[in-house]
Amino acid sequence: MKIMIKIILLLLCAQSAFTQTARIPESVRSTFEGIWQHKNKLQTNSLKIQFEPRKDYALFTDIGAGFAPSKTFHVHLKGNQLVLPAVRNQNDSIEMEIINGKLFLRTIPVEWDAQGKFIKADTSRQERRIFKRIKK
C-alpha cells in the first residue's frame, strides 16, 4: 500500500513539473497589453494583444480595418520583443517591440522552397508600422 501511494505521489510531482512553463513577466504584460491602432490617409488598422494567465505566450489579434474577420495568433517573448514565426501560406514573420510607448511592428517576408521548407527571411523587404495604444 505504501509503495502504491509513493508511486502516485511521484507521478503527481512529475506531472506538475512538466506543466510549469516560463511565464511572461508582469512588466512585459503591462507594456504590450491593449488595443493598438495605426492610421494612414486611407484606413485605420487595429490590433489587440492580450495575455492568458499562467501561459508563456500572448494572443495577438489582427483586427485590421474591420472589413474582414479578425485573425488570432500565439506570439512568444524573445528578448524584449513579441515574435510570431512565419507559417507558409498563412503569415510572414512578425516582430513587435515597444519604443517610447509606441508599438513598432515589423513584418519580414519569408521565402519557401517547392517542398514547403523555409529558405530565408528577406529582411531587405521588411515593412514597419508604428501603432499607438488606444486602450489598455
Mean pLDDT to the nearest integer, 3-9: 55
d(CA 70, CA 53): 22
Grid coordinates in use for 64?
485590421
> Could you tell me which CATH class the domain 23-135 is placed in?
mainly beta
Cell numbers linked to 35 = 488595443
* pLDDT tens by residue, 25-56: 788 888 899 999 999 888 888 999 999 888 88
Residue 80 DSSP code = T
Q: Where do the structural domains in the chain lie, given as residue ranges?
A: 23-135
Spatial separation of the C-alpha atoms in residues 61 and 39, rounded to whole Å:
17
Span 67-74, average pLDDT? 87
Regarding predicted confidence, which is higher, 3 or 103?
103
Average pLDDT in the 115-126 region? 77
